A and B are shown apart, each in its own frame.
Chain A
């Protein structure tokens, strides 16, 4: 399963793509596959503060409810409005379907996250895929 090397990953299966002090966040292909048909995404409002390692929202499939964990701290600048009506977009292309955009409080926090290679190794051990 190829994971984009320009993204960083959490052990809770979110990805983050940083561009200077701003960043884009989504969930990984492994996450969408584990969840199955995604039917609901609950995201914070623009202007909300989110904190690295803390929950910032929820994603639900037919069967499961799962918290979303912030890969980094900062302020939400935009959420992907398409996901309110078409959450299944995440199933189709999780690695490019973003959930929110944010301004990073401390871009150095991203150094704590997993690289694509490390994440791939992590999920192969976790899921036995």
Chain B
């Protein structure tokens, strides 16, 4: 049985930690944070996952970090350290991007929000907060802009699912119908003025992420008000377990799994988020060379065709029994009701329908390459 993680003084807690515990959440350590993995009282991972696909789910994602760059050369700094083209962002718009090492591999993936004329907010991963901040500070120091680490200033709550918009609209004066996907606005939320509301998420659904003050009393009040307002939509509190299965169905990468300091942008298949027409950014030169050199491996979706569940780190073999790659994330998919995985394999084995074997406890278990994302949300109207 999985051991219950001991809480050590170095484990960090979000402002909602006590609330999660009161709700009977199963807690785990994730990247140095004591976080809820699931809430058995509402039915656990599967129920939480399916609530997000069909109604709404509410996540404490305060472990995510935030870096703000502001000032005359903020755009130039963001352009230098990130691979997407932040010059295309209107005020109030956001984009998926990444911070790259000079060799074209990942420091982290980020969402870049343009909050004002010369004001950018980078939302970064929990496990890479300090690394990212140091990286940004080091590599943006030649630009005339202020760089602030705001990670501890916010409680970040994600409200995800097709009913997320209806839920949040009950609690805010901002007109959410006017906010497009990957845009942000500000408004009063639960009586708190000027709250940042972003139509972003990590579940493959429509949804919002709000950034509220990180004090425990405010955070607790807002969390409870959201869940209360969500009752009519079947909203459930959701833990990191559902967050992971949701993002896997939608093929959203997770740092340390699909992307890392040894994987480059081409291998990860994130081509549409990199703008090579930008004359300069960190990692660009190496990626130009890597493109000319061809891919050694590429990320594919697998679906198990024989009985078994592929898990993170399992080896992938071709049908002749030769080891060709490895699984980066694998799990049962609660909504699709299939056993799915993401894996790195050579381009020769990346075509849809290619049969491979995943080694599960010493046995090669049949799987095949399938199109991704595994799940795509239905288009509205």
Contacts and interface: CB of A to CB of B under 8 A. Distances in A.
A36 B38 CA distance: 9
B202 to A, nearest CB: 17
B48 to A, nearest CB: 10
A70 B147 CA distance: 58
Contacts of B4: 34, 126-128
A34 B58 CA distance: 23
Interface stretch (B39-47, B64-72, B123-131): B39-47
A62 B1 contact: no
A35 B309 CA distance: 15
A15 to B, nearest CB: 13
B212 interface: no
B361 interface: yes
B2 to A, nearest CB: 5
B311 interface: yes
Contacts of B334: 37, 62
B245 interface: yes
Interface residues of B, number: 20
A58 interface: yes
Interface in A37-62: 37, 39-40, 42, 58, 60-62
A13 B311 CA distance: 23
Contacts, number: 52
**Chain A contact residues: helix, strand, loop or mixed:** mixed
Contacts of A39: 309, 332
A60 B45 CA distance: 13
A22 B143 CA distance: 77
Given A36-B38, A39-B332, A58 B361 contact: yes
A30 to B, nearest CB: 8
B45 A31 contact: no
B37 interface: yes
A64 B2 contact: yes
A12 B1 contact: yes
B331 A62 contact: yes
Contacts of B307: 40, 84
A13 to B, nearest CB: 5
A62 B2 contact: no
Interface string B133-167: 00000000000000000000000000000000000
Nearest to B26: A36
B1 A13 contact: yes
A63 B241 contact: yes
B1 A36 contact: no
A40 B26 contact: no
Interface of B: 1-2, 4, 26, 37-38, 40, 44-46, 241, 245, 307-309, 311, 331-332, 334, 361
28 contacts: A13-B1, A30-B1, A35-B2, A36-B26, A36-B40, A36-B44, A37-B45, A37-B334, A39-B332, A40-B308, A40-B309, A40-B332, A58-B361, A61-B45, A62-B46, A62-B241, A62-B334, A63-B37, A63-B45, A63-B331, A64-B2, A65-B309, A65-B311, A66-B1, A66-B2, A126-B4, A127-B4, A128-B4
